[in-house]
Amino acid sequence: MERACIDARDEYIKPENLLRFNDRNVFSTDNKVNLNEIRDKAERNAIMNVLKKTNGNKSEAAKILGISRSTLYVKLKQFNLA
């Protein structure tokens, strides 16, 4: 996630910033690609990174992520981050 922040050219982290070299095995022909798992992993990592960046300030994190505070709380619970 730290690498994604470094790679990001502006204040937003894009999907291409999240897919690192060690994630390539997810896309190999031997594995089935589960887009929900990939999305959830990226979303969880983005939330953790933004919370770290905001020193745990959930209101600020939600604003940066472009979601409501209540949506952030739902996602924190969903990803066992609460």
**CATH number of the domain residue 23 falls in:** 1.10.10
Radius of gyration of the chain (CA): 14
Tokens of 47: 């939330």
pTM of the model: 0.63
Cβ atoms of residues 5 and 64 within 8 Å: no
Tokens of 42: 């990226």
What is the Cα–Cα distance from 37 to 50, expressed in whole angstroms?
A: 20
Q: Residue length, the chain? A: 82
Mean pLDDT of 65-78: 97
Tokens of 78: 């969903």
Predicted pLDDT at 77? 97
pLDDT in tens, 9-20: 666 666 666 665
Residue 27 has pLDDT above 60, yes or no: no
Query: Which residues form the domain of 45?
Result: 2-78
Domain count, the chain: 1
